[in-house]
Amino acid sequence: MARTRKYMALVSREGRVFVAHCPEFDVSSQGPTFAKAQANLAEAVEAFLLTASVSEVRRRQRAKPRVASVTVEVGNGGELPQELRAELRLATQEVRRGRVRPASEVLRTLHRRRRS
C-alpha cells in the first residue's frame, strides 16, 4: 500500500498563470488556476521522487527550508532607478518564456548596478 506525505507548496500568481514551488525538493510547476498549479506540482514532486536517486532526494531533504522575514531598505519611495526596472522587466520576460535565471543571479545583478 502506498504511503502519502504532505510537502510545502508555495503558490503565487505571475501574470495569467499560477506558479507552484515545493521548497523541500526545489521542484516547481504551473497552471492556469491555483488548484491546477497545485495539482501539477503534486505530479512534478511525485515524478521527482520516482526518478531521482536516493542520494539526490536525501541531499535535497537535508536542506530544509525555513520561513523567515527580511528587512529591506526601500528608499526612493519604493521606486527603482529606470535601468534596474528595465533589468527586472527583462528577467520577468525570461521567466515567462521559460528561460529562468535563479533569483539570486538577478538580485546580484541589481545590487551591482545599484552600487555603481
Burial state string for 10-26 with b = 16 or more CB within 10 A and e = fewer than 16: ebeeeeeebbbbbbbbe
Reported pTM: 0.58
Q: Is the Cβ–Cβ distance between 39 and 49 less than 8 Å?
A: no
Give mean pLDDT, residues 53-78. Answer: 78
Q: Residue 91's pLDDT band (boundaries 50, 70, 90)?
A: confident
**What is the DSSP pairing of strand 10-14 with strand 27-31?**
unpaired
Q: Which of 88, 90, 108, 86 is nearest to 99 (CA)?
A: 90
